[in-house]
A and B are shown apart, each in its own frame.
Chain A
Amino acid sequence: MSIFYKNPVDIEILFDGEDSRKHVEIPTNSHSAKSLFDKFPLFEDGESVSGLVTLRVREGKKLEHSGVKVSLIGSIDTTGLNNEVKNKNLDTFLTLSMDLCPPGELVHSVNYKFNFKDVEKRFESYLGKNVSVLYYIKVTMIRKSADIVKLKKFWCHRYSNESALKENEAKPIKLDIGIENCLHIEFEYSKAKYTLKDVVVGRIYFLLTRLKVKHMELSLIKRETCGTEPNQLSDTTSIRYEIMDGSPVKGETIPIRLFLGGYDLTPNMTCNYFNVKNYLSLVIIDEDGRRYFKQTEIMLYRTI
């Protein structure tokens, strides 16, 4: 369509200091993209979002419009697998708007500044299988015919207040599990809550092993759940990390150390529409390929 009908106006949105701003790279889910990653500028919760909107009109043309407005929108998209455009299940939790210019006529390119002050962003940006949380700036030129709209996504990270979490943090996870007369282990993770750059430290103490263990892994599982019963959708992704090779004897202690910083992890999130939870799963694989595991929920949070 664009071949026949070109937008009479070119809208460009530029954040203040965008070049120097921190960006995040997010794997794209569209297959057509050239690169594997999309780059988005990063904003924090409560940070002002300001920038410049440039409206460029084609040389020698006039454009009539009934006003231009800019809005900052945060939305949760739970479209998921039934990714049908019509059925788009979108919930906008945040809309801030301001008018850039009154109705009139555009004859040459104009720049407008916009500024949303201290915007509260309730959720982190998230791109999951079934759910995504998106933030974007939307510039709308209202016209009698179809409006001309330009979107610009940006990314949002919410940083948890570390001191508030500190008290819980000291408490390690300790578990004592086993299969009767077969396996009995005690394991321990240093804490239940980790920052995304944290290290999971722990140890596994073998009290009894009659199993012929082939190896042992630690899996970091992210589970996203959305919707409500019975139409609940969930998705699990995991990272596997081998922590032991061979079969230990009674009394052995195996250290656990897993650096989280290198992985692309999502902090725990909860809202009405969906939640994202993280689990640590200890998996023992015996020589016959049987898997024994124990999942433990942990909380991941983002800090500066």
Chain B
Amino acid sequence: MASYSENMEQAISHIKQQTILMQRSLTQKKLMDALKHSSDMLKELRNPDLSPKLYYELYIIIFDSLSILSQYLVENHPTRHHLADLYELVQYTGNILPRLYLMITVGVSFMQTKDCPAEEVLKDMIEMCRGVQHPIRGLFLRYYLSQRTKQSLTSDILLDKKFDVQFVITNFVEMNKLWVRLQHQGPLRERDIRTKERKELQILIGSNLVRLSQILDDSFPLYRDEVLPQILEQVVQCRDVVSQEYLLDVICQVFPDEFHLGTLAQLLDSTLKLNPDVVINKVVLSLIARLNGYLDRQDDPSVVIQNLKQLHLNGSTDTKATSESNVDSAENKADADVTPTNKVDLFFVFWKYLTKITDERPDLPFHEIIPLVHSIMLLSLKWYPTNLSNIEILYKFCWEKYQEFGSTIPEECEQSFKEFFEYPLNTESFYEIITKCDSFQKLLSVQSVALQKDIINSILDKIIETNTKISEKHHLEKLGAICEPVIPVPNDKSKVSKLTVDDELDDELTFLNPEQEKLAKIVHLIYHKNVDQNTELLLICKKWYYKGGKQLRYTYPALITEFWKLIRKLHLKSLKIPARKEKYYAKIKQLFKYVSRCNADLFNICGLSVSDLLFKLNLQTAAIADQLELSEISYDFFSQAFTIFEESISDSKIQFQAIVNMAQVLQKTRSLYNEESYYDTLITRCTLHGSKLLKKTDQCRAVYLCSHLWWATELSLIGEEEGVTQYFFREGKRVLECLQRSLRVADSIMDNVQSCQLMVEILSRCCYYFIHGDESETHVGVKYIAGLVELIQANLKGLQLEESGDTQEYSVPAQNIVIGGDGSYICKVLSSSVCKVSNKIPNVRIPDLIAVPVSYFERTLNYIENQKQVDDRFNAIVT
């Protein structure tokens, strides 16, 4: 027996040489010689040392060569030879491998002729192929058989389809056996290499299934009754991980969707019997992906589902539907098997499967179950997006499983859990899932804190992103339950903070928690048409946020603003329906009480750190109350604000801002004048506080700003108009007093620049009053202004003296400096457009500093000059 070449190069050149010789013989019509050469080159395929890759290379070359031979055989049949004779002739080849290759080549050529007993030949060939038991050689031989027979099987209609199918299946089964056997060859340490080699060969086996699907075309009963059971049996029996995973995947991929729908139960059942090492969820996932894809590929998915449903209804009556509705009948049948109830659907099939698998495979690790459940959820969401009970069932299942497994759950589950939770969020019905599925929350609550936070964040993001309105009480409650872990302050610091009495610093340093921000945002999504219910929802929110401890400083403001909104809404309603005013009023009052409650909570829990915030909230609430003409309430909140100012605000800068803020709000109030001179009390107090500020500059500014409290101006929003509106609260005398007082303070300031600056500011203020009121009313007259101008000029002179004393040469200032309304320095470097604001005196030369009030004064005088053209009264002012 002649042997094969030693290496690849030799082998290839030998094959090529033999091919040429064979071709030459063929052109000379010497068939016997040609066969001899073919047989000779086929010996190369007997080499046992080739890797699958190299073997494949040889196979390809030989395949081409044999194609030439095959063509000749067909063309010269019966004229030069009879293929039946040749078929017998090649049997005499001594070596089995070349013999079988030749046999197949001749046999298939024979089948292409008309007078051939094709079935017999096929049967014979496949039977004879058993002789090759070497995995790689056997695989390729059978692959050759399958490739060769491909044309004849498809083109020849005469052949029975059933026979074809059986033929391919037989070949497939044998190939798979060989493929599995390949794993167990060679030394144990090369197992991994074997596995790799096998994966390289997998396509050979898979191609059979592809062929099957081509042959089957649309004959579903054949698939269901013949093909699938056999394939699955083989898959199950081989008990090989690589094979089972690959083949099931191929089954899922190559057969039509309708087939899968029809045989779902079978397919799933078979996965139960797989090798325990097979990752079942991979298989199920690919199946589900396929089914989901099916839905996508349909023009109208709803029709499909509808069809499915219809069948379920008819299912009991005509299980044995005719062939026209094969898929349908199969579906019925499958369902009839698994479901005793009427609730029949695709999901149920999978659900049944899930319960079965957990019953039969208690060894299945939890982290494999989750992806499985996850994939079923994908299916349910795709096919039955509205049926949330499915989802609930799945989560519940998981939860129960979780309980069962208890503490033995490994950490790697985390990731799969994460996907499991996050997936529904990307669907349209995520909100329903969250709010309606109890088990979602249950399951989530047993996860690790980090994971929970992760998920909650995603949930909150999603809700905010989609702008979902939350209007049901139980939804909100559910959401609250889900979010519970992120509400409270992280506990890890609590022990430390007991020791350090004042943890305010810590609190300042902690950054705003993103979850808290999101929680606050959720508040704004709460909406209900009915104010009472809306209020209730908000109160529920409030209840949870209260649990957050110090965190409520982030969340409560949102709540308060929502209350404000409701108050305004009610107010508008009451304006529309005056008859119910009383009722509305009561509600409004109640709402204010809630606001007050919130404020109190904030104060009690967060203490001094939020006093500024509280102050502002109180002021704002007071302003709202005032706008609603609820003077009592308004006063109450104002007084609250004052209390906070007095008791808690200690920073001088904030104090000043607070006073300004207060003055601003107060000046716009309208309802406080009437009874018990609330307004008077408040503004006097405000001014008093202003004058008691620490820094004189602040005092001065606060007081002149407070002067406006005695000079109400029009608020066009509520219909006031200068000159038309009858009554404005104006007391010119007090205004002047204030101005005087602030001037005194300004004068007493030692820093000349500051002092001058303030005076000019007061001058501007005087001009304002001069323009806006008659001298008789405001008591700010020409004389007064002129006097002030003089005073400033005198002071400025003093300043300039100081400047001239400075020996340094005056040059163009490097930067523009302006003093802001709150005494801060605003420096603008000429070269850039950015300003620098600081409270400290900037590090510049004195002349530059002096230039500040001077130029300000000049601008003011300039303004007065300009006003002269508009207003005659200004003419009296001599500058």
Which residues of chain A have a CB within 8 Å of any CB of chain B? 213, 215, 240-249, 252-255, 257-259, 261-263
Q: Which residue of B lies closest to A252 (CB)?
A: B133
Q: Can you list 16 A-B pairs, Cβ within 8 angstroms, ordered by A? A: A213-B133, A242-B95, A243-B96, A244-B96, A245-B97, A245-B131, A245-B137, A246-B132, A246-B134, A247-B134, A252-B133, A253-B130, A255-B127, A255-B128, A255-B130, A255-B131
**Complex Cα spacing A258 to B93, Å:** 10
Q: Which residue of B lies closest to A256 (CB)?
A: B131
Known: A257-B91, A259-B88. A245 touches B46 (CB 8 A): yes
Known: A246-B133, A246-B137, A262-B89. A257 touches B94 (CB 8 A): no
Which residues of chain B from 747 to 779 have a CB within 8 Å of any chain A CB?
A: none
Q: Which 4 A-B residue pairings sit nearest by Cβ, starting from the closest?
A: A246-B134, A246-B133, A248-B133, A242-B96
How many A-B residue pairs lie within 8 Å, measured between CB atoms?
Answer: 59
Q: Does B181 sit within 8 A of A, measured CB to CB? A: yes
**Given the complex, which residues of B lie within 8 Å of A254, measured CB to CB?**
130-131, 133
Q: Which residue of B lies closest to A287 (CB)?
A: B48
**Complex Cα spacing A290 to B130, Å:** 23
Which of B1, B88, B96, B135 is packed against the most chain A CB atoms within 10 Å?
Answer: B96
Asked if B46 and A241 make an inter-chain contact with CB atoms under 8 angstroms apart, the answer reads no
Prevailing SS type, chain A contact patch: strand
Known: A249-B181, A255-B128. A242 touches B133 (CB 8 A): no
| Shortest Cβ gap from A42 to chain B (Å) | 23
| Shortest Cβ gap from B99 to chain A (Å) | 8
| Shortest Cβ gap from B823 to chain A (Å) | 97
| Shortest Cβ gap from B89 to chain A (Å) | 7
Prevailing SS type, chain B contact patch: helix
**Complex Cα spacing A221 to B94, Å:** 15
**Complex Cα spacing A27 to B96, Å:** 28
Q: Does B138 sit within 8 A of A, measured CB to CB? A: yes
Interface size of B by CB at 8 A reads 23
Known: A241-B94, A259-B92, A262-B89. A246 touches B138 (CB 8 A): yes
Which residues of chain B from 39 to 97 have a CB within 8 Å of any chain A CB?
A: 46, 88-89, 91-92, 94-97
Asked if A246 and B135 make an inter-chain contact with CB atoms under 8 angstroms apart, the answer reads yes
**Complex Cα spacing A179 to B99, Å:** 30
**Complex Cα spacing A248 to B94, Å:** 20
**Complex Cα spacing A215 to B94, Å:** 12
| Shortest Cβ gap from B186 to chain A (Å) | 11
**Complex Cα spacing A261 to B132, Å:** 24
| Shortest Cβ gap from A215 to chain B (Å) | 7
Asked if B132 and A244 make an inter-chain contact with CB atoms under 8 angstroms apart, the answer reads yes
**Complex Cα spacing A263 to B88, Å:** 13
Asked if B96 and A215 make an inter-chain contact with CB atoms under 8 angstroms apart, the answer reads yes
**Given the complex, which residues of A lie within 8 Å of B99, measured CB to CB?**
242
| Shortest Cβ gap from B333 to chain A (Å) | 34
Which residues of chain B from 151 to 180 have a CB within 8 Å of any chain A CB?
A: 177
Q: Which residue of A lies closest to B97 (CB)?
A: A245
**Complex Cα spacing A242 to B128, Å:** 12
Q: Which residue of A lies closest to B99 (CB)?
A: A242
| Shortest Cβ gap from A221 to chain B (Å) | 15
**Given the complex, which residues of B lie within 8 Å of A248, measured CB to CB?**
133
| Shortest Cβ gap from B438 to chain A (Å) | 54
**Given the complex, which residues of B lie within 8 Å of A244, measured CB to CB?**
96, 131-133
**Complex Cα spacing A70 to B97, Å:** 56
Which of B1, B127, B131 is packed against the most chain A CB atoms within 10 Å?
Answer: B131
**Given the complex, which residues of A lie within 8 Å of B137, measured CB to CB?**
245-246
**Given the complex, which residues of B lie within 8 Å of A242, measured CB to CB?**
1, 94-96, 99
**Given the complex, which residues of B lie within 8 Å of A263, measured CB to CB?**
92
Q: Which residue of B lies closest to A253 (CB)?
A: B130
| Shortest Cβ gap from A5 to chain B (Å) | 47
| Shortest Cβ gap from B184 to chain A (Å) | 9
Partner of A259, one of B91, B94, B133: B91
**Complex Cα spacing A257 to B127, Å:** 11
Q: Which residue of A lies closest to B100 (CB)?
A: A245
Asked if A245 and B130 make an inter-chain contact with CB atoms under 8 angstroms apart, the answer reads no
Q: Which residue of B lies closest to A214 (CB)?
A: B48
**Given the complex, which residues of B lie within 8 Å of A249, measured CB to CB?**
133, 177, 181
**Given the complex, which residues of A lie within 8 Å of B1, measured CB to CB?**
240, 242
**Complex Cα spacing A246 to B139, Å:** 12
| Shortest Cβ gap from A228 to chain B (Å) | 36
| Shortest Cβ gap from A242 to chain B (Å) | 4
Partner of A243, one of B46, B88, B127, B131: B131
**Given the complex, which residues of B lie within 8 Å of A243, measured CB to CB?**
96, 131
**Given the complex, which residues of A lie within 8 Å of B130, measured CB to CB?**
252-255
**Complex Cα spacing A257 to B135, Å:** 22
Which residues of chain B from 331 to 373 have a CB within 8 Å of any chain A CB?
A: none
**Given the complex, which residues of B lie within 8 Å of A252, measured CB to CB?**
130, 133
**Complex Cα spacing A76 to B581, Å:** 143
**Complex Cα spacing A252 to B133, Å:** 9
**Given the complex, which residues of B lie within 8 Å of A253, measured CB to CB?**
130
**Complex Cα spacing A226 to B97, Å:** 39
Contact with A along B116-141 (1 / 0, CB 8 A): 00000000000110111111011000
| Shortest Cβ gap from A181 to chain B (Å) | 19
**Given the complex, which residues of A lie within 8 Å of B94, measured CB to CB?**
240-242
| Shortest Cβ gap from A264 to chain B (Å) | 12
**Complex Cα spacing A213 to B46, Å:** 15
Asked if A245 and B96 make an inter-chain contact with CB atoms under 8 angstroms apart, the answer reads yes
Q: Which residue of A lies closest to B46 (CB)?
A: A245
| Shortest Cβ gap from A273 to chain B (Å) | 33
**Complex Cα spacing A245 to B4, Å:** 14
**Complex Cα spacing A262 to B137, Å:** 27
| Shortest Cβ gap from A140 to chain B (Å) | 45
Given contacts A245-B138, A262-B92, A263-B92, 9 further A-B contacts (CB under 8 A): A215-B96, A242-B96, A244-B96, A244-B133, A245-B137, A246-B132, A247-B134, A257-B128, A262-B89
Q: Which residue of A lies closest to B185 (CB)?
A: A247
**Complex Cα spacing A253 to B128, Å:** 10
| Shortest Cβ gap from B434 to chain A (Å) | 55
**Complex Cα spacing A243 to B137, Å:** 14
**Complex Cα spacing A262 to B88, Å:** 9
**Complex Cα spacing A283 to B92, Å:** 18
Known: A257-B91, A259-B91. A245 touches B128 (CB 8 A): no
**Complex Cα spacing A248 to B135, Å:** 9
**Complex Cα spacing A257 to B181, Å:** 25
Q: Which residue of B lies closest to A241 (CB)?
A: B94
Which residues of chain B from 569 to 589 have a CB within 8 Å of any chain A CB?
A: none
**Given the complex, which residues of B lie within 8 Å of A213, measured CB to CB?**
133
**Complex Cα spacing A290 to B92, Å:** 25
Which of A240, A245, A255 is packed against the most chain B CB atoms within 10 Å?
Answer: A245
Q: Which residue of B lies closest to A203 (CB)?
A: B130
Q: Which residue of A lies closest to B181 (CB)?
A: A249
Asked if A247 and B131 make an inter-chain contact with CB atoms under 8 angstroms apart, the answer reads no
Which residues of chain B from 170 to 218 have a CB within 8 Å of any chain A CB?
A: 177, 181
Q: Which residue of B lies closest to A247 (CB)?
A: B133
| Shortest Cβ gap from B3 to chain A (Å) | 13
| Shortest Cβ gap from A152 to chain B (Å) | 33
Which residues of chain B from 1 to 44 have a CB within 8 Å of any chain A CB?
A: 1
**Complex Cα spacing A242 to B137, Å:** 15
**Complex Cα spacing A137 to B720, Å:** 155
| Shortest Cβ gap from B822 to chain A (Å) | 93
**Given the complex, which residues of A lie within 8 Å of B96, measured CB to CB?**
215, 242-245
Contact with A along B243-274 (1 / 0, CB 8 A): 00000000000000000000000000000000
| Shortest Cβ gap from B481 to chain A (Å) | 59
**Complex Cα spacing A262 to B32, Å:** 14
| Shortest Cβ gap from B123 to chain A (Å) | 11
Partner of B133, one of A240, A241, A245, A258: A245
Contact with A along B723-761 (1 / 0, CB 8 A): 000000000000000000000000000000000000000
**Given the complex, which residues of A lie within 8 Å of B95, measured CB to CB?**
242, 245
